[in-house]
């Protein structure tokens, strides 16, 4: 996920140089060498790779930067990139698989790969050498989120990351007598009460995952709870889940977090002007501070608060990248080659440059590549790297992708309805069990 596009500018990359006409002897020698050596450039000649990039135009532009770099390195290859929306992207991928017509490669939610792969839509990335290439380069918990429980097949690898963080304004907190970012849930509750007493209009704002399962995720895991255990047994409705959901409700009933339907993408502005005290969102919000408030130094970020005896566990969102199963072998090989370049530091740098021009930050799953991002201050990068140590992606259990909407409905029956926390979580658990 990225911030909405605010610039149409795009960076142009090296276009390559047309080769001068060679003499007859030189041409003959080159042709023979090409046949004998079977160079990647010749093998990829006159091929078109179609890529669907989930997100908006900014996301497509970032992917086009990778495509341009690939085209430059592989003469004769054309990479066509099309943006598809988050709202219907998953359905479009499944429809393309049924029709055997559509992209060769697509990016989508981290859970899409397991679900679509189990439906027979995707190529196994192990057989194409992608899995073994990527796995050592990315954090284990991120990779795990894309590999199905007890599965030997790999249908997606991480493409980018979106990390839940706590945003705040130092001046606003200081006026309320708060000298540092809260680290524990108890500290957070005390800080929110102080912000409310100090007249802050909205002490807490929950932007990313507002009142849904995603917003609840970090509170659940930072309270020692889980959605499933290691064997994919549903655990959301145990005592830790009840405690976490009870705390999550406080954001709305006690601390003024707006309900769904009033999402405000100007969180940056409202934290800066003191309307919001603390905001929960993804790392993508940091780009707004850099782009519009380069000289504004009072904002900062911190990990999600944790319960006593628990670690701060942030949710890792983002996208995986997959290859469609109907693609012909030559296309799958080309797609595999393209995906591998997405982890190259120089290509990531190009994607970051294009992203920054459109107020979008590409956070590579190769954590060391975060250093290629100019649009993140050092303290933000430090928080990201620290938070990623214990962060968790969506569960890799079968049926989770199809359970999410029902889980959110169940949670909201407590957040905004008359159900008890335990009853709401029991209903969520029933939905999850029915999809396993």
pLDDT at 19 over 50: no
pLDDT at 388 over 90: no
Residues 62-90: tens digit of each pLDDT: 999 999 999 999 999 999 999 999 999 99
Does residue 361 belong to any structural domain of this protein?
A: yes
376 falls in which pLDDT band (50, 70, 90)? Answer: confident
Does residue 138 belong to any structural domain of this protein?
A: yes
The total domain count for the chain is 2
Helices 400-415 and 213-221, packing angle to 10 deg: 90
Check whether residue 237 and residue 290 sit in a common domain.
Answer: yes
307 falls in which pLDDT band (50, 70, 90)? Answer: very high
Check whether residue 200 and residue 136 sit in a common domain.
Answer: no
pLDDT for residue 357: 80
Q: Show which of 387, 411, 426 is a domain's final residue.
A: 387
3-state secondary structure of 109: strand
Check whether residue 310 and residue 335 sit in a common domain.
Answer: no
Share of the chain above pLDDT 90, in %: 69
Check whether residue 196 and residue 151 sit in a common domain.
Answer: no
Q: What would the two tokens of residue 94 be?
A: 């499944």
Check whether residue 189 and residue 149 sit in a common domain.
Answer: no
Check whether residue 111 and residue 28 sit in a common domain.
Answer: yes
Q: Show which of 387, 412, 427 is a domain's final residue.
A: 387
Does residue 7 belong to any structural domain of this protein?
A: no
Q: What would the two tokens of residue 118 be?
A: 């189990």
Q: What would the two tokens of residue 292 be?
A: 């519009």
pLDDT for residue 385: 84
Q: Taking the chain, what is the end-to-end CA distance rounded to the nearest angstrom?
A: 27
Check whether residue 152 and residue 188 sit in a common domain.
Answer: no
- Residues facing 161 on adjacent strands: 318
Does residue 64 belong to any structural domain of this protein?
A: yes
Residues 143-194: tens digit of each pLDDT: 989 999 888 899 999 999 999 999 999 999 999 999 999 999 999 999 999 9
Residue of higher predicted confidence among 45 and 211: 211
Q: Using CA atoms, how far apart are residues 174 and 30, in angstroms rounded to an integer?
A: 70
Does residue 275 belong to any structural domain of this protein?
A: yes
The CATH number assigned to the domain holding 195 equals: 3.40.190.10
Neighbour count for residue 199 (Cβ, 10 Å): 10
Tell me which of 33-42, 52-61, 98-107, 217-226 is least confident. Answer: 33-42
293 falls in which pLDDT band (50, 70, 90)? Answer: low
Q: Using CA atoms, how far apart are residues 100 and 49, in angstroms rounded to an integer?
A: 15
Q: What average pLDDT does the segment 356-376 reach?
A: 82
Burial of 132 (0-12, 13-18, 19+ CB in 10 A): exposed
Tell me which of 42-46, 144-148, 354-358 is least confident. Answer: 42-46
105-109 and 47-54 as β-strands: parallel, antiparallel, unpaired?
A: parallel
Residues 236-286: tens digit of each pLDDT: 999 999 999 999 999 999 999 998 875 555 788 888 889 999 999 998 887
Q: Using CA atoms, how far apart are residues 403 and 316, in angstroms rounded to an integer?
A: 18
Tell me which of 224-228, 262-266, 307-311, 417-421 is least confident. Answer: 262-266
- pTM for the full model? 0.82
Helices of type H across 101-184: 112-118, 130-134, 140-144, 170-175
Does residue 1 belong to any structural domain of this protein?
A: no
Check whether residue 253 and residue 307 sit in a common domain.
Answer: yes
Q: Show which of 387, 407, 425 is a domain's final residue.
A: 387
The range of the structural domain enclosing residue 254 comes to: 164-314+396-435
Check whether residue 173 and residue 154 sit in a common domain.
Answer: no
pLDDT at 301 over 80: yes
Check whether residue 207 and residue 114 sit in a common domain.
Answer: no
Check whether residue 125 and residue 197 sit in a common domain.
Answer: no
Does residue 204 belong to any structural domain of this protein?
A: yes
Q: What average pLDDT does the segment 381-396 reach?
A: 90
Residue of higher predicted confidence among 4 and 293: 293
Strands (E), 235-275: none
The DSSP element (H or E) to which 83 belongs, if any, is strand 77-84
Q: What average pLDDT does the segment 208-230 reach?
A: 96
Check whether residue 404 and residue 382 sit in a common domain.
Answer: no
Does residue 5 belong to any structural domain of this protein?
A: no
Among 245, 166, 260, 242, which Cα is nearest to 204's?
166
């Amino acid at each position: 996920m990225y911030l909405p596009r605010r610039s149409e500018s795009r960076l142009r990359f090296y276009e390559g140089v047309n080769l001068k006409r060679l003499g007859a002897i030189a041409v003959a020698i080159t042709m023979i060498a090409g046949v004998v050596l079977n160079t990647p450039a010749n093998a990829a000649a006159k091929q078109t790779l179609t890529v669907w990039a989930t997100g908006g135009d900014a996301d497509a532009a970032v992917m086009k930067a990778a495509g341009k770099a690939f085209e430059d390195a592989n003469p004769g290859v054309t990479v066509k990139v099309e943006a598809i929306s988050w709202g219907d992207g998953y359905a479009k991928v499944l429809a393309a698989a049924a029709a055997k017509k559509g992209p060769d490669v697509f990016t989508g939610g981290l859970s899409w790969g397991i679900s679509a792969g189990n439906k027979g839509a995707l190529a196994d990335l192990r057989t194409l050498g992608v899995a073994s290439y990527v796995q050592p380069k990315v954090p284990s918990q991120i990779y795990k989120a894309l590999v199905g429980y007890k599965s030997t097949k790999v249908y997606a690898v991480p493409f980018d990351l979106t990390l839940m963080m706590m945003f705040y304004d130092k001046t606003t907190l200081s006026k309320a007598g708060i000298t540092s970012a809260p680290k524990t849930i108890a500290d957070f509750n005390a800080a929110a009460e102080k912000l409310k007493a100090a007249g802050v209009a909205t002490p807490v704002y929950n932007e990313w995952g507002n009142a849904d399962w995603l917003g609840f995720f970090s509170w659940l895991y930072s309270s020692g709870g889980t959605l499933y255990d290691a064997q994919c047994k549903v655990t959301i409705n145990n005592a830790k889940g009840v405690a976490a959901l009870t705390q999550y409700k406080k954001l709305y009933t006690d601390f003024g977090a707006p309900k769904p339907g009033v999402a405000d993408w100007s969180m940056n502005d409202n934290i800066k002007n003191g309307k919001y005290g603390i905001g929960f969102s993804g790392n993508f919000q940091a780009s707004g501070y850099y782009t519009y408030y380069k000289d504004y130094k009072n904002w900062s970020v911190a990990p999600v608060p944790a319960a006593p005896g628990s670690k701060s566990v942030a949710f890792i969102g983002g996208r995986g990248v997959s290859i469609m199963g109907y693609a012909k072998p030559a296309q799958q090989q080309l797609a595999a080659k393209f995906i591998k370049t997405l982890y190259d530091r120089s290509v990531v740098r190009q994607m970051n440059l294009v992203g920054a021009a459109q107020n979008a930050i590409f956070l590579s799953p190769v954590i060391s590549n975060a250093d290629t991002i100019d649009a993140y201050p050092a303290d933000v990068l430090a928080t990201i790297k620290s938070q990623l140590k214990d962060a968790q992606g969506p569960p890799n259990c079968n049926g989770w992708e199809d359970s999410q909407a029902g889980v959110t409905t169940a949670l909201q029956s407590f957040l905004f309805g008359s159900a008890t926390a335990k009853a709401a979580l029991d209903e969520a658990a029933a939905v999850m069990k029915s999809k396993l």
